[in-house]
Amino acid sequence: MSTLLPGTPGQTVGPFFRYGLEFEGGTELVPPHSPGAIRLSGTVYDGAGDPIPDALVEIWQADGTGAIPTATGSFRDRDGFTGFGRAHVSDDGVYEFWTVLPDADFISVIVFARGLMDRLQSRIYLPGRSDAFLESLTPEERATLVAVATDDGLRHDLRLQGNGETVFLAFP
Amino acid sequence: MTELNQAAISAEIAELHAAYDRKRAAGMPPLDSPQIDFPPYRSSVLRHPTKNPKLVDPETIELASPAFGHRDVAAVESDLTMQHAGEPLGERMTVSGRVLDGEGRPVRGQLVEIWQANASGRYIHQRDQHPAPLDPNFTGAGRCITGDDGTYSFTTIKPGAYPWKNHLNAWRPAHIHFSLFGSAFTQRLVTQMYFPGDPLFPLDPIYQSIPDQAARDRLIANYEHDLSKPEWSLGYRWDIVLTGPRATWIEPEGSDA
């Protein structure tokens, strides 16, 4: 696709983003423990294998029927399932969402952090689901994109660098 | 051990920019984004992927974007000078512009979030402990929803420059953080808007992490006198183009650039 205008460059989210980007219920796309709700959680790691305490994780996903949400109200007065969540990781680098399993191969995910110059885009594939892109990867790469089933949902770590570095995406 | 100083950081920046210029001379297209591997910003060293991103066609969900609306954002949230009992200290200003896609089409009805330091260069964030005063009348966070022509507008005060601990005597140029959603999730952008003529530009490893001068210039707002209001505020215009990520250029084989 040809573009006429050059894009605006990204910049790091910096250290002091919490008060600018926090909203109540940002991690609860559905009420915790409600019927059909799953917990999606994981840890964001740096290249030394240490958790990153000042990262921001956003997810965007289809609903349980595979439909793309069009409801507004993620920030307040939620009117149905909006499909968008934002988590400020804990001091231990842990993010946690309450959501539903989409009828789709993956949940879209974006990571921001202090020290990270630009956002990173990736996918969280559901266990047992796949597509041509996932199959084109080596087993080691694939393992970084597929979530692990847990008692109450999914676990998916994000490694920005080093052993088991998460596969990040670029789009044409 | 002597503390890392600005001269050493500036030399590292110059070296990385020279390497970029050599690649440009060898035929690499201009880069619209920062280099994620940019050691002059010390915190980046362990926080960037070392492998190239995988090029993939976006799927359905990635071609759509979360929807926000007036249900999410009250009109008053775009005025950062009205959030407390009194007026904040500082230079009152309007920051306005359009959010466009790469084809020049307006991004309508989408969310814009900003956050910034106060006029003294202090963030309200509890981890910002630099000895400049907090302003009881300024939080520094705002939101708005773009209009039908992609327009956003905020009323705020001009943020101050502030020191940080990247190296000895490190100062960030004054800036406002912007968070943007496009019409596709692949266009999601977080960036920083700067002010024209800031003497700190050449010294700042975050701003200079964008190796392309033309791309860096796109982060600087224009002072626009027609946006200024008599006896009230100064006007800055800054348009934002959300094109989404680009493929990484791979150096041709045999090139020693």
Number of continuous H segments (helices) and E segments (strands) in chain A:
3, 10
Percent of chain A topping pLDDT 90: 88
pLDDT digits (tens, 9 = 90+) for A47-104: 999 999 999 999 999 999 999 999 888 887 777 899 999 999 999 999 999 999 999 9
Domain assignment present for A140: yes
Can B70 be counted among the known catalytic residues?
no
pLDDT of residue A66: 97
Mind giving me the DSSP string for B139-188? --EEEEE--TT-EEEEEEEPPPPEEESSSTTEEEPPEEEEEE--SSGGG-
Domain assignment present for A101: yes
User: Chain B contact for A130, CB < 8 A?
Assistant: no
Selected for mutation to probe chain B from A3, A8, A23, A123 (highest B CB count within 10 Å) is A8
Task: Judge: B125–A15 Cβ closer than 8 Å, yes or no.
Answer: yes
Query: Could you give the residue ranges of the DSSP H alpha helices within chain A?
Result: 18-21, 132-135, 139-143
User: Chain B contact for A79, CB < 8 A?
Assistant: yes
pLDDT digits (tens, 9 = 90+) for A17-43: 988 998 888 999 999 999 999 999 999
- CA distances (Å), origin A119, targets A34, A42, A70, A79, B75: 32, 18, 24, 28, 28
Domain containing A131: what range? 18-159
pLDDT of residue B5: 96
pLDDT of residue B71: 83
Q: Which of B24, B177, B188, B216 is catalytic?
A: B177
Residues of chain B with pLDDT under 70: 1, 244-257
Residue A25, domain CATH: 2.60.130.10
Q: Which residues of A touch B214 (CB under 8 A)?
A: 6
Work out the average pLDDT over A93-121.
98
Domain assignment present for A40: yes
Selected for mutation to probe chain A from B37, B43, B47 (highest A CB count within 10 Å) is B47
Structural domain count, chain A: 1
Domain assignment present for A9: no
pLDDT of residue B130: 84
pLDDT of residue B256: 43
pLDDT of residue A165: 98
Domains present along chain B, CATH in parentheses: 6-241 (2.60.130.10)
Domain assignment present for A172: no
Domain assignment present for A153: yes
pLDDT of residue A1: 47
User: Chain B contact for A126, CB < 8 A?
Assistant: no
pLDDT of residue B250: 54
Domain assignment present for A170: no
User: Chain B contact for A74, CB < 8 A?
Assistant: yes
Q: Which residues of A touch B188 (CB under 8 A)?
A: 58, 110, 119, 121
pLDDT of residue A72: 87
Q: Which residues of B touch A74 (CB under 8 A)?
A: 66, 68, 72
User: Chain B contact for A94, CB < 8 A?
Assistant: no
Are A83 and A68 in contact by the 8 Å Cβ rule? The answer is: yes
pLDDT of residue A3: 55
Task: Judge: B46–A48 Cβ closer than 8 Å, yes or no.
Answer: yes
